[in-house]
Amino acid sequence: MSNENLSQGAFAKANDLKSRIFFTIGILIVYRIGTYVPLAGIDPQALTEVMSDAQKGLLGMFNVFSGGAVTRMAIFALGIMPYISSSIIIQLLTGVSDYFKNLKQQGEIGRKKITQLTRYGTVLIACLQGYGVSVGLENAGSLVLDPGMSFRITTTIALVAGTTFLMWLGEQITLRGVGNGISLIIFSGIVAEIPRALASTFELGRTGALSATLIVIIFILVILTVLFIVFFERAMRKILINYPKRQMGNKVYGGESSHLPLKINTAGVIPAIFASALLLLPVTLTNFGFSDSDTFLNISSMFTQGQPLYMLLYASGIIFFAFFYTSIVFNPTETAENLRKYGGYIPGIRPGERSAEYIETILNRLTTIGALYLTFVCLLPEFLISKYPIPFYLGGTSILIVVVVAMDTVTQVQTRLMSSQYESLIKKTKFGK
């Protein structure tokens, strides 16, 4: 009870944390309002009829990442995916281009330049996708009240403005709020639509489209998936680090032991989001009815749940980005050099290059397990969705994003809470005066 009261008291005094939380909530409310602001010139009744039969394949996934804005054809219909696509391209260029490598090594100045280039890429991709969506809407029956170039221009401008505004909102959350802004925007969109997905699932059970037994099995699988994700996200390998003893006069210093923690899934939810973005990017136009040609229709049919090409590309994307993003966020050579600099060593392993090789070997094994875990969680429910009319929001990718982002956000809140407690303690001492 005392610990609980202490936490509550610390939270009450953590004014900065409270303001950050309220700021984040306010931004997410603005985002949710934007998903209900429709594009001009579209017949709402015709849109409802078209979208009711178009919730499979990548269009359904697109709707998940946009927080339901696609079915309502709102100004946020493109969602944050153009920004994610641009980030993927920039990060890939960082790995192969000397120019981007030099930018990365320039510290804060280079980081700002990369951020600026990512923004430019976001606008460019959003323009292409926005124009594709506008043309697709015109070709999708009687959706558009007054088709023509004027509709295409206004729709493209509205969609690009919506995506740019979302990008800005995400950056503001990261800067002035709690958690990763882009991930939280996707998270809030999924969470907001889950009640609707549950209601539609129960409605399918009531009408007989899904049996009561199958619904129970689905919810058991969802709970087991959540527990499975929590277990793997918390799992880590601890490498023992020893520090040598040093004698100064009559006193002996050092000789302590610590651990180097390596998570099984270092990349977090990024591989799933990036892989989804890559799947969405090339076929956006197709799924919005951009073309009536047989070639485009055949390509579109291949990108549905349960299809071999869809599964293969999705799994390959997840595995690739799991290794790629891990290599970006964790450098074994740098870690080994820091250990050597501070006198630490791995028992039985020589400091320096051998330690780096040892850490890299363990990291590769862990990343392999993590990539397989992500692939399993994201793809297994897709087979159920392909055979039964289960909402996309109950799929593995959605659950993964919700659980991982929630865990990361709670961890950040706890870290900031502890930081505020330490600051208050320092202020009460003579050192803080």
pLDDT tens for residues 391-424?
666 677 888 888 888 888 888 888 888 876 666 6
Res 371: pLDDT: 93
Categorize the per-residue pLDDT at 121 as very low, low, confident or very high, splitting at 50, 70 and 90: very high
Residue 147 forms part of a structural domain? yes
pLDDT in tens, 133-166: 888 788 776 778 888 888 889 999 999 999 999 9
Categorize the per-residue pLDDT at 27 as very low, low, confident or very high, splitting at 50, 70 and 90: very high
pLDDT in tens, 302-361: 666 667 777 888 899 999 999 988 888 888 888 888 888 877 888 888 888 888 899 999
Residue 2 forms part of a structural domain? no
Specify whether the CB–CB gap between 322 and 316 falls below 8 A.
no
Categorize the per-residue pLDDT at 287 as very low, low, confident or very high, splitting at 50, 70 and 90: very low
Residue 372 forms part of a structural domain? yes
The CATH code of the domain that includes 83 is 1.10.3370.10
Res 47: pLDDT: 78
In sequence order, what are the beta bridge partners of 245? 254
Residue 6 forms part of a structural domain? no
Residue 290 has pLDDT above 50, yes or no: no
Residue 7 forms part of a structural domain? no
Categorize the per-residue pLDDT at 373 as very low, low, confident or very high, splitting at 50, 70 and 90: very high
pLDDT in tens, 78-106: 888 888 888 888 888 887 778 887 887 78
Full-model pTM: 0.79
Total domains, the chain: 1
Res 248: pLDDT: 62
Res 101: pLDDT: 79
Residue 5 forms part of a structural domain? no
Residue 236 forms part of a structural domain? yes
Residue 3 forms part of a structural domain? no
Range of the domain at 377: 15-432
